[in-house]
Structure formats: structure tokens, C-alpha cells
Amino acid sequence: MSQLGIVYALLGAATAVFLSGAGSALGVGIAGQAASGVMSEDPSKFAKVLIMQLLPGTQGLYGLIIGFVTLSKIGLLGGGVADVSVQTGLLILAACLPIGIVGLISGKSQGKTAAAAIGIIAKKPDQFGKAMLFPAMVETYAILALLISFLAVSAIQI
């Protein structure tokens, strides 16, 4: 039975990484299309639109953080694998869900917002500071999910 615990825990780490990574990939992709459109008209805006495109990329990193913390918690990274009971494994899986799911959805939404903000830069490049705020608003929720996932994973005793 105890073997299944570690499977659940690893599933949690995987969920955190692949869902939020997928969200970021979608978001960065959407923003990248808009950025390419602007670039084709005005290559001098490269730096600004690149920053905008990067904004939805953070969800993937947040997922990576949770994945990494989980892996090191269950001892899969060097050293012996911890003895994880089924209950603990499921706890870890549950703890990983917030960043996974919120990362997926917010990554995509943030990508759309970033694409719209790239539209602002195309027309009013001097409004860069404010344009950047709109995607950052979406990111707040990814950060909150990261916090809860992180606090939950680090609170689980093994």
C-alpha cells in the first residue's frame, strides 16, 4: 500500500508543473502572436512587447516551484525516497492542485490580457507602465494559488 502514496505525491508534483506550464504556454503563445503582429509594423518596439509576452510566463515557474518543493519533500531528488502513506500522498496531491488549476486558467487569461496590452503599446507606446498593470492584475491570483500550494506542501508532515 505504501508504494501508492509516493505515486500520489508525484502525481501532485506533476499536476502542478504540467497544468501551470500548459497555462503559461498558452498565454505566452497568445501574447507572442500579438507581439509578432506589432513587430511586423514597428520593430523598434521589440523590447516592450517582449516584456509583455513574458508576463504570462510566470505561472509555469510557479508550477515548477511547487513541483520542486514537492519532489525534494518526498526525497525523490537525491537521498532516499521517503515513506509516504496513501493519506499523505493524497494530501500532497490536493496541495498541488491550486497552482496547477489556477496556473492553467490564469496563464491563458493573462495571455489574452497581455495581447490586448500589446495593442496599447502598438498605439500608445508611452503608456507602457499602465499597460503592464493589466496582465499583472491577472497574475495576482496565480500568486495567491502559489502561496496556498506552497504553504500547504510545506506544512504537510512526512
Partner 1 sequence: MAVLQMQRISICALKKNRKAILEKLQALGVMEINHIIDDGDEDFQKMDTTNARMSFDKAAASADKAVELLQVYAPVKQSMLASLAGKELVDEDRYRQVIDRKEELQRVVSRIQTLDKEKAEQKAEILKLTNSIESLTPWLTLGVPMNYKGTAHTDMLLGVMPAGVSLEEVYSVLAERVPDTGGVDAHIISADQDSTYVAVFCMRREVAQVEEALRGRGFAKPSQIWDKVPSQAVDNMRREIAEREDKITQIEQDVVSLNVNKEDLCLLADYYRVRADKYAVLGQIPQSGRTFVISGYVPKKYVPRVEKLAKQYDCVLDIEEVKEDEEAPVLLQNNGFASGAEGVLAAFGLPGKGEIDPTSIMAVFYVFLFGMMLSDAAYGAIVSIACGVLLIKFPRMGDGMKKAFQLFFWCGLSTLFWGILFGGYFGDAVNVISRVFLGHEVGIKALWFAPLDDPMKLLVFSMLFGVIHLFTGLGLKGYMCLRDKKYMDFLCDVVLWYALLCGLLIMLIPSELFASIAQMEIVFPPFVNTLGKALAIIGAVGIVLMSGRSSKNFGLRIALGAYDLYNVSGWLSDVLSYSRLLALGLATGVIASVINQMGSMGGKSVGGVILFIAVFIFGHLFNLAINLLGAYVHTNRLQFVEFFGKFYEGGGREFNPFKANTKYADVKEETKL
Binding-site member from 11, 14, 39, 51 for partner 1 (CB under 8 A): 51
What cell does 110 get? 493573462
Binding-site member from 15, 24, 58, 113 for partner 1 (CB under 8 A): 58
Binding-site member from 11, 14, 39, 61 for partner 1 (CB under 8 A): 61
> Would you say 56 and 102 are in contact if contact means Cβ atoms under 8 Å apart?
no
Stretch that binds partner 1, among 1-9, 31-39, 63-71, 109-117 (CB under 8 A): 63-71
CB atoms closer than 10 angstroms to residue 127: 12
What cell does 21 get? 506550464
What cell does 81 get? 525516497
Residue nearer to partner 1 on the CB measure, 5 or 28: 28
User: How many whole angstroms separate alpha carbon 6 and alpha carbon 12?
Assistant: 10
Closest contact distance (angstroms) between CB of 68 and partner 1 is: 5
User: How many whole angstroms separate alpha carbon 127 and alpha carbon 117?
Assistant: 10
> Would you say 70 and 5 are in contact if contact means Cβ atoms under 8 Å apart?
no
x-or-dash string of contact with partner 1, 122-141, rule CB under 8 A: ------xxx-xx--xx-xx-
Residue nearer to partner 1 on the CB measure, 5 or 100: 100
Residue nearer to partner 1 on the CB measure, 5 or 114: 114
User: How many whole angstroms separate alpha carbon 105 and alpha carbon 101?
Assistant: 6
Stretch that binds partner 1, among 7-15, 20-28, 82-90, 146-154 (CB under 8 A): 146-154
Backbone conformation region of residue 31, classed left if phi is above 0, alpha if psi is from -120 to 50, else beta = alpha
Question: Rule CB under 8 A: which residues touch partner 1?
Answer: 51, 54-55, 57-58, 61-62, 64-65, 68-69, 77, 128-130, 132-133, 136-137, 139-140, 143-144, 146-147, 150-151, 154
